[in-house]
Structure 1
Amino acid sequence: MSLKPAYSGALLPLHTSTPPQPGKIATVPHTLELYLDYVCPFSAKQFKVFYHDVVPIIKQNYQSPGVRVIFRQQIQPWHPSSTLVHEAGAAVLNLAPEKFWEFSAALFEKQEEYFDVNVVHESRNQTYKRLAKLAAETTGVDEKKYYELLEISDKPGPDGGLNIGNKVTDDVKYMTKTNRLVGVHVTPTVLFNGWTEGSISSSWSKEDWEKWLDKNLK
């Protein structure tokens, strides 16, 4: 599936010779899409191996013909905080798209801090404040501006509405709609060139990924 230019930060910058610019999408023959949830332990396991061990291999050995790697944010509503942390990702895409993958790595490292047990006694805005602090520390974004994107007002909207959302609600709607089009449910799920690649597991090691890359990208 295509990637909306406004969310180009979700595209991993792999092609060092012509690094992608915000709003522009690289054109290469293969596309690998990682559907991940920030509060899913299995997503964290897959992301950490891929980001730290596999990405350097792709940069070194698979620049030609090339592959686009896209992080698809997959909200899992049975974990209420899943929406909140993905809103945090959307806020980074808005303010510092080039830092999205870096922020995602930090959020996966801290994911247990946003598990059900660790958010149950705080308000939604209190969770947002913790996420704003993490984003500021990780990406350098202005903490106040970032929080303003997430904050939920306790006052009715201009038309009296009470379900007014926040400034990234439209981003959540977009990611939810696009993910539903391909029928993704569980995380992690990987699509390769538009098709679910069921062979890829969250338990894969660096060596497993190397074998798959050699088979599919050369």
Structure 2
Amino acid sequence: MALKPAYSGQLLPLHSSTPPQPGKIETIPHTLEFFLDYVCPFSAKQFKTFYEDVVPLVKSKYQSPGVRVIFRQQIQPWHPSSTLVHEAGAAVLKLAPAKFWDFSAALFEKQNEYFDVNVVHESRNQTYKRLAKLAGDTTGVDENKYYELLEISDQPGPDGSLNTGNKVTDDVKYMTKTNRLVGVHVTPTVLFDGWTEGSISSSWSKDDWASWLEKNLK
């Protein structure tokens, strides 16, 4: 599935030394798409193994024919904070797209700070402020500018609307609709060349991935 240029930071830079640039997407014959939720423990497990152990293998052994790796943000509504943390990812895509994967790694590492028990007694904007601090520490973005993208006003909109959203609401809508087009519902889900690859498990080790890559990326 195509990747909108505005979200090119979701593409992991595997085939060049330069970070991904907005509007520029590499042409590679194979594509792996990871549909992950930042507050899903199984997503965190799969991301950590792939990002830390498998990416170096791909870079060293599979530059040709190559594979594109895309992080698809998948909101799961049974985790109420899922929307908030994915809005945080969308804000990084706007301000520092080349740091999206670094931010994702940091957010997965601290995901339990955004589990139900740890957000139930704070307001939505208070959660955003914590996410802004994490983004600032991880990516170097200006925390105030970042928070401005997420903050929800307590005042009605100019037309009297009470569902005013924030400055990444349209991004969340686009991502959610895009994921629904391919019928993804739960995380983690992995697509390979557009098809659900049901054999890939969140419990896979580096060796499991190495065997799969050898079979599918010859």
Could you tell me how far apart the structure 2 residues matched to 1:82 and 1:17 are? 32
Instruction: Please say if 1:199 is aligned against 2:169.
Output: no
CA deviations 1:57-90 (Å, max 9, x no partner) are 0001111111100000000001110000000000
Specify the alignment match of 2:92 in structure 1. Answer: 92
Instruction: Please say if 1:153 is aligned against 2:166.
Output: no
Q: Aligned AA for 2:204? A: W
Instruction: Please say if 1:33 is aligned against 2:33.
Output: yes
**Unmatched 5+ residue regions in structure 1?**
none
Specify the alignment match of 2:163 in structure 1. Answer: 163
CA deviations 1:154-206 (Å, max 9, x no partner) are 00111111001000000000000000000001100000000000000000000
Could you tell me how far apart the structure 1 residues matched to 2:20 and 2:37 are? 24
Specify the alignment match of 2:184 in structure 1. Answer: 184
Specify the alignment match of 1:58 in structure 2. Answer: 58
Q: 1:17, CA displacement in angstroms?
A: 5.6
Is contact 2:37-2:82 (8 Å) kept?
yes
Give the TM-score taking structure 2 as reference length.
Answer: 0.99
Specify the alignment match of 1:81 in structure 2. Answer: 81
Is contact 2:190-2:198 (8 Å) kept?
yes
Q: Aligned AA for 1:175? A: M
% identity of equivalent residues = 87
Specify the alignment match of 2:42 in structure 1. Answer: 42
Give the TM-score taking structure 1 as reference length.
Answer: 0.99
CA RMSD of aligned residues (A): 0.8
| Number of residue pairs matched by the alignment | 218
Q: 1:18, CA displacement in angstroms?
A: 6.5
Could you tell me how far apart the structure 2 residues matched to 1:55 and 1:87 are? 25
3-state SS of the aligned residue for 1:75?
coil
**Unmatched 5+ residue regions in structure 2?**
none
Q: 1:46, CA displacement in angstroms?
A: 0.1
Within a 5 Å distance, the mapping from 1:113-152 to structure 2 comes to: 113-152=113-152
